Amino acid sequence: MSRALEKTASFRESLRRVPDANGHFGAYGGRFVAETLMGPVEALRLAYAQCRRDADFQTELQRDLRDFVGRPSPLYLAERLTGECRGARIYLKREDLDHTGAHKINNALGQALLAKRMHKTRLIAETGAGQHGVATATVAARFGFECVVYMGEEDMRRQAINVYRMKLLGAKVVPVTSGSRTLKDALNEAMRDWVANVDSTFYVIGTVAGPHPYPMMVRDFHACIGEETRRQALSAEGRLPDALVACVGGGSNAIGLFHAFLDDDVKLYGVEAGGEGLASGKHAASLSAGRSGVLHGNRTYLLEDAAGQIRETHSISAGLDYPGVGPEHAWLKDIGRVTYDTVTDTQALQAFHALTRKEGIMPALESAHALAYAMQLAPRMQPEQFLVVNLSGRGDKDIDTVARHEGIEL
Amino acid sequence: MSRLAPRFAELRRAGRAALVPYITAGDPDKSASVPLMHALVKAGADVLELGVPFSDPMADGPVIQRACVRALKHGTTLADVLGMVREFRRTDARTPVVLMGYLNPVEAFGTEAFTVAAAEAGVDGVLSVDMPPEEAVPLAGLLRARGIDPVFLLAPTTDAARLQRICETAAGFVYYVALKGVTGAANLDVAEVRRRLEVVRRATRLPVGVGFGVRDAHSAAQLASVADAVVVGSAIVDRVEEFGHRRAELLTQVGAFVSELRQAMDAARV
């Protein structure tokens, strides 16, 4: 345990009371945007602060989380996978069963309700794997917003099915051809749209990054994942889990799972995309291999070159293919509360197959990273212990990628 | 000490608005920048704005994004940009140079080391686009300590309290963004700018520059009658893109455009 964490623990201060009023998580977070965006960001902060306390807003949100998203999602004991791993019992938090097939809808729904309160008529979003784009297009259809989704040209190729889903939902998908043509460039483009159309437009950021209040707000909208897991673990096992495992790209599903457990004696593991291995340079592991810098409105760990230019990243999973990470994760790493590690493309693919064959559940390649790590962790734990993996999304969208990787033409 | 205050005082006495052209350093290649800087001064620039290329220029439109891509293809670093200023200073000790860019390359260089190197190279002002006053510690203080002005943006969406705060943190001049959008957008509303500048002037005695969306001599002239400085970026970078592969023509074309801006602005002030 790091010294900073010991200090925090000895004062019994909650780790859940972040960020501060300016959006800082320790040295990270903040609001690093051009002055043109400070007004809109401040208006959003005020509107969200109001809705956070507003009983009507919360009631409406809870109702749609139940009836539209399908919450609570189950906590499932993966018995055959546990048997295979010969160690701690492995539970899966089934975010793959959420409406649209991933946890992203929790946040998209929350922000859409907020946009409605702010009298905006147009939602914009960036997307990598397409899951957040689909979630945003879905809530736009649900509430009658116009919707534009920015997506890197390269990602559109990798995730053609999700592109078509968004179009079916009535969204316009704009290909982004600047930079590396992936998630980071889509985020730049969405910010540019927002600054030019701020009166009508609400920018639905898909992860726990961006200027304050986004990292806090997106975390809050996903915190239901951990809150449910707590209740479900207590009911299934009579106690809290020994460990939680989640994949980390921007880090929204991980924060969503971890947040309710930050003050408890539960080990937390965040799993980054190791791509072809850290030594190859082809990965997206900003916490494991990056350093502190400023991008997309916040200070956080970044993958960059010596001159401070943002590097292109690689992962088999488009949803993890991002050179930054949410500022709360950067802080949780520094204080030693969460252990961050990596899993390679190959290991993630193996886990994808293992879960599909052993449990009849096809995980998203993002979630397969968390699963691969849990399959290494469980055998090192005692059989009376149990851990929870956040199965953040389902794998249908990745079938093409898996097939291509195995040389199969569909 | 920064050359900005004396330059603006000089211009005020002459009854002229400053013409502030922007180019991205290293565009189209590293060797082009210093000759371009001299050509801009020769054509009538009062202050130079030199863009530090960044991989993710979030506040910039497509023209300056492409300039960044070109500059980064040749590996232009912040250290290279400081080298260009140093070389420019060998034959021009008077024209103020303001660096405009994003925070990450500065932090990668080392914030304090950057302020030392920038002062030594002859930089007069630094505008870090993604650094509002709330996040300006420690850079703004370190710059001031070295005699470099921290320049900040003001926007149509800036409220009265923030306006006050920005003007207190800024030095050299403040830079009013004339539109809601990214650099190079084309929806400039001069009457609205005039109205906003009256508010800004009540908050500060610093000179007020206007930029983003100044496309041509006509819009530059209109702004010259209301602002202390007119910043022209994308319209110049457009020409760098068009003529970049023909060096001799690049300098004459960019020079001719800046002369045209200069004449239009001076005529508007008479």
**Mean pLDDT, residues A378-388 taken together:** 98
CB atoms B130 and A302 under 8 Å: no
pLDDT at A4: 53
Q: Which of B77, B109, B153 sits opposite A34 (nearest CB)?
A: B153
**Residue B247 burial (CB < 10 Å; 0-12/13-18/19+)?**
middle
Cβ contacts of B108 on chain A, cutoff 8 Å? 293, 304, 306-308
Q: What are phi and psi of A388, to 5 degrees?
A: -120, 125
d(CA A44, nearest CA chain B) in Å: 13
Flag whether pLDDT at A161 surpasses 90. no
Task: Answer whether the bond into residue B150 is a cis peptide, omega within 30°.
Answer: no
CB contact under 8 A, B132 and A33: yes
Lowest mean pLDDT among A14-28, A43-57, A154-168, A231-245: A154-168
Is the model's pLDDT at A184 over the cut of 60? yes
Print burial letters for A309-340: b (CB count within 10 Å at least 16), e (below 16).
bbbbbbbbbbbbbbbbbbbbbbbbbbbebbbb
pLDDT tens for B80-120 read 999 999 999 999 999 999 999 999 999 999 999 999 999 99
> Residue B187 above 90 pLDDT?
no
Gap between the Cα atoms of A287 and A270, Å rounded: 10
pLDDT at A6 over 60: no
pLDDT category at A10 given cuts 50, 70, 90 is very low
Q: What is the mean pLDDT of chain B?
A: 95
Which residue on chain A is closest to B81 by alpha carbon?
A307
> Is the preceding peptide bond at A383 cis, omega within 30 degrees of 0?
no
Fill in the amino acid letter for A217.
M
**Pairwise CA distance, residues B153 & B151, whole Å:** 7
Is residue B168 less than 8 Å (CB to CB) from chain A? no
Is A379 at the interface with chain B, CB within 8 A? no
Is A14 a catalytic site residue? no
> In this complex, do B102 and A294 lie within 8 Å of one another by their Cβ atoms?
yes
**A299-353 per-position pLDDT tens digit:** 999 999 999 999 999 999 988 999 999 999 999 999 999 999 999 999 999 999 9
- Identified catalytic residue from B27, B46, B49, B149: B49
Question: Mean pLDDT, to the nearest integer, of A204-210?
Answer: 98
Give residue A314's pLDDT: 93
Q: Which of A150-164, A240-254, A383-397 has the lowest mean pLDDT?
A: A150-164
Please check the confidence at residue B179 and state whether its pLDDT lies above 90.
Answer: no
Which of B105, B159, B181 has the CB atom closest to A196's CB atom?
B181
Please indicate whether residue A333 is annotated as part of the active site.
Answer: no
pLDDT of residue B188: 79
Q: B142 vs B248, which has greater pLDDT?
A: B142
Integer angstrom CA distances of residue B215 from B219, B220, B222, B234, B252: 7, 8, 11, 8, 19
Strand ranges inside A238-375, DSSP E: 243-247, 267-275, 291-295, 297-302, 338-344
Rounded to an integer, what distance in angstroms lies between the CA atom of residue B17 and that of residue A285? 50
Structure tokens, A198:
């701020």
- List all residues of chain A from 277 to 296 with a beta carbon under 8 Å from chain B: 292-296
> Do A32 and B108 lie within an 8 Å CB cutoff?
no
A34 within 8 A of B102, measured Cβ to Cβ: no
pLDDT for the residue B82: 98
Asked if A30 and B136 touch (Cβ cutoff 8 Å), the reply is no
Interchain CB contact of A297 with B (< 8 Å): yes
Distance from CA of A202 to the nearest CA of B (A): 15
Judging contacts by C-beta atoms under 8 Å, the chain A residues touching residue B157 are 36, 38-40, 198
Mean pLDDT along residues A175-191: 90
Contacts of B107 in chain A (CB under 8 A): 292-294, 308
> How far apart, in whole angstroms, are the C-alpha atoms of residue B149 and residue B144?
6
What are the tens digits of pLDDT across the range B22-71? 999 999 999 999 999 999 999 999 999 999 999 999 999 999 999 999 99
Phi, psi of A365 (to 5 degrees): -65, -30
Q: Do A39 and B157 touch (CB under 8 A)?
A: yes
Higher pLDDT, A236 or A159: A236
Tell whether B61 lies on the interface with A, counting CB pairs under 8 A: yes
3-state DSSP: chain A helix, strand, coil percent, rounded to 5? 50, 20, 30
Min Cα distance A192 → chain B (Å) is 6
Mark yes or no for CB contact A22/B134 under 8 Å.
yes
